[in-house]
A = this chain, B = another copy of it.
C-alpha cells in the first residue's frame, strides 16, 4: 500500500470511525452473536488475492461490529469502565502512523523520553512524591507479575543469579485476600511461589478489606514456621466490590520485616486524580510498587497500565539485559525501558496519554470522574430506598453491588432469580451489567463511568431493572 493509497483509505476510515462513535448508542450493548458466528463469516483460508480497503470497511461493518460488546455505550455498566476517549484514540493513531520501534533509547529517543515525561505528569496528577518513577506496561496483570518477580529477587538476595527460586530452602510467602483480582493469584503462581505459599488474609466484614491485625498474625505465624514473608499485594479498589485494603496499616507491618508491598490500584488509580479520594490509599508513599490503569475509568485507550516503583535500580537489576547489539555510546545517560518489564519491544504508548492530557485537559477529566461518583451515590440511594433491594457493599467509588431479594427467596432460588433478571437485560442489548459472586451467592455489579453515561442513562437503567424484576 502506497502512502497515497493509505491517505485515501485513511480518510474513509476516519469518517467511518467518527460515524461509528457517534452512533454506537443505537447498537445493542452486548454483542448479539453466537459462539463461532463471527469466525464463520470469514474464509478458513487466507485471502488468495488482494482486496480493496473499502471492501474491508464493509466487512468491519457487517461481520465485525455485530461481534463487539459496546463498552463505549452509555448503557454499559459491566466489568469496569474501559473508556477509549477520542483524544487518546487520536494519539494511538499518531503512534501507529509513526511506525516506531522501541527496543532501546537509540531506536527511538522520543518514545523513551515522552514516556518519561507523561509518566511523571501522571505521578504528579495522582499526588505521588518525586520518589517514584514509572513506565507504561500493557496491563495490571503484567505489572503485578513484574512486582512479584522483583519482590522475589529482593527477598532471595537475587537467587536468579544462583540456583534460582528452586534452590531456596526457606519458602517465600505472598499475602493477599480473596477479594484480590484473579491476576494476583496468577502472578504468584507464575512467579513460582506455589499455591501453598499464598496466604489469603481474612477480611473485615462487608468492607472486604484486608484485616491489618490478621495480616500481622499470619506473618508472625509464617516466621515461626520457618517461612520467609516476601510480598503483600494490597487491593486498592478491588474488582468485586471496590474494596480498599488499609495501605497505611499494611506498609507499617511490612516495614518491620522488609516485606515488599505492591499496590494494585488498577481501577482506583483514576480516582487518585481527585485529591478528595486520596485518603483511600493513605500510606501508599511507603509501599514499594504501584500499578494503575488509565485505560479504565480515566479513558486512555487500552493498553495503558502505569507501573511505578521507588527503587528503580532494583527493578532494573532484576529485569535488565544488555546484549552487544543493543548497546550504544550514550547508554549511561538514558533510560532503557526494556529493563523495566518483561517485553523487549514497545509501542509508542506515551502518545495516547499525551494526546488525552493535552486535548481533553485534566480539569475536564476530573469533572467527569466527579460526575460518575455522584451518579453512583444517586443510584445506590435509589436501590437502597426500594423495598426488597439491597446495596451489598460500601460504595467507595463508582461501582454499586446490588441484589433483589423478594420475601422468602434465598439460596439457589435467589441465585436463579438474580441471574434471571440480569441475563435477561444483558441478552436484550438494552444495558449490560456484570453478574458476580459475593460470599458464594450471585449479585450484580453496576459499574458506572463510561464517558457517555449521564444521570439520564442511570434513570433509564433503574427503570429497566425494576421492569425486568416485575416481569420475572
Contact = CB atoms under 8 A, between A and B. Distances in A.
Given A46-B125, A108-B31, A342-B141, A96 B98 contact: no
A195 B69 contact: no
Given A90-B6, A166-B171, A190-B149, A11 B11 contact: yes
A72 interface: yes
Contacts of A248: none
Contacts of A159: 192, 194
A339 B298 CA distance: 26
Contacts of A51: 358-359
A107 B1 CA distance: 32
Interface stretch (A276-284, A328-336, A456-464): A328-336
A128 interface: no
A193 interface: yes
Given A11-B11, A101-B69, A164-B189, A359 B110 contact: no
A407 interface: no
A220 interface: no
B90 A124 contact: no
A325 B79 contact: yes
A387 interface: no
A408 interface: no
A98 B68 contact: yes
A357 B192 contact: no
Interface residues of A, number: 164
Given A167-B194, A189-B160, A101 B345 contact: no
Interface stretch (A12-20, A206-214, A250-258, A373-381): A12-20
B13 A94 contact: yes
Nearest to A44: B120
A168 interface: yes
Contacts of A133: none
Interface stretch (A306-314, A316-324, A388-396): A316-324
A130 to B, nearest CB: 11
Q: How many copies does the complex hold?
A: 2
A141 B139 CA distance: 16
A86 B3 contact: yes
A205 interface: no
B90 A38 contact: no
Given A53-B359, A172-B166, A325 B240 contact: yes
A330 B1 CA distance: 39
A385 interface: no
Contacts of A106: 30-31, 69
A275 interface: no
A360 interface: yes
A301 B96 contact: yes
Given A64-B114, A165-B164, A302 B347 contact: yes
A456 B250 CA distance: 64
A223 interface: no
Contact of A110 (B5, B31, B122, B165): B31
Contacts of A55: 358
A445 B324 CA distance: 11
Interface in A326-378: 326-327, 329-330, 333-334, 342-347, 354-355, 357-364
A249 interface: no
A26 interface: no
B125 A50 contact: no
A188 to B, nearest CB: 8
Cβ-closest 10 pairs across A and B: A164-B194, A67-B110, A84-B99, A17-B97, A165-B192, A50-B361, A7-B18, A10-B14, A324-B437, A182-B321
